[in-house]
Amino acid sequence: MTNFRKDRISKVYDLQYHFFGTGHVVFKGNFYYHRAGYNEIVQYSLDEQATTARLPVERATFTGGVFLYSTDFNYFDLSVDENGLWAIYSNESDTETIMVAKINETDLTLSTVLNIYVERRQYGNGFVACGILYLVRDTRAKTTHIDYAYDLFMKQTVPVHLKFINPFQMNNMVTYIPEFKNIFSWDKGNQLIYNVTV
């Protein structure tokens, strides 16, 4: 964290495939990202410094400007919580739903895929925490809300209405980090940490 805050780079990695968006994550020694121009999630081993697996996601929207959220940052939004690795994306044939898939990181396969009916283009970003999908209403307004939550195990919506602040009004990455029990975001070049009260 100290090196990050001081903008110290300790290692540079050369990716075999280009990534698209801001929805990538590092999990268990691997960098997971959406391969630009393809419906693939790539697993890049930081230890081996090589691509170790690729996961094609059938019927996922991955090009053409029909983005996952109301912003133009992502087709895929990868997320990590206490349960492991998740992919949030949209179905190319259904604009009124959001897809959430649990990814088995050992063999890079989809173990659960949920089709959730929500007007996804009314939201600016999302993340998974403690098995619940949360959607942030607007990532360009200074004050907005998290007003949609869906329990991915119980398969039902959960009542929620939380204030969410975008102090720089261009929040293009929001994610939960289970090791820290905090939400991190990237708002107009500023790394922000939101404390979570349980």
DSSP state of 3: H
Are the beta carbons of 35 and 18 closer than 8 angstroms? Answer: yes
**Residue 143 within a domain:** yes
Per-residue confidence (pLDDT) for residue 1, from 0 to 100: 74
Structural domain tally of the chain? 1
Q: Which of 6-10, 98-102, 179-183 has the highest mean pLDDT?
A: 98-102
d(CA 147, CA 168): 21
Is position 124 within any domain?
yes
Whether residue 99 is contained in a domain is answered as yes
> Above pLDDT 90, what percent of the chain?
86
Cα distances (Å, whole numbers) of residue 7 to 1, 3, 10, 103, 191? 10, 6, 10, 31, 12
Both structure tokens of 127: 């993340």
Q: What is the pLDDT of residues 51-96, one digit of tens each?
A: 999 999 999 999 999 999 999 999 999 999 999 999 999 998 887 8
Mean pLDDT of the chain: 94
pLDDT over threshold 90, residue 128: yes
Confidence of residue 109 (pLDDT cuts 50, 70, 90): very high
Residue 127 maps to a domain: yes
Report the C-alpha gap between 184 and 175 in whole angstroms.
Answer: 5
**Residue 183 near residue 193, CB atoms below 8 Å:** yes
Here the CATH number for the domain that contains residue 176 is 2.110.10
Q: pLDDT band at residue 198, thresholds of 50, 70 and 90? A: low
Q: Is residue 6 included in any domain, yes or no? A: no
Who wins on pLDDT, 10 or 176? 176
Burial class (CB in 10 A: 0-12, 13-18, 19+), 30: buried
Q: Is residue 18 part of a domain?
A: yes
Residue 5 lies in a domain: no
In a domain, 86, yes or no: yes
Q: Which residues pair with 149 in a beta bridge?
A: 134
| pTM of this structure | 0.95
Predicted confidence (pLDDT) per residue in 176-195, tens digit: 999 988 999 999 989 999 98
Q: Name the pLDDT band for 16 (thresholds 50, 70, 90).
A: very high
CA–CA gap between residue 171 and residue 185 (Å, rounded): 7
Q: Residue 126's pLDDT is what?
A: 97
For residues 81 and 133, give the distance between their C-alpha atoms in angstroms, rounded to a whole number: 10
CB 150 within 8 A of CB 133: yes
State the residue range of the domain holding 96. 11-195
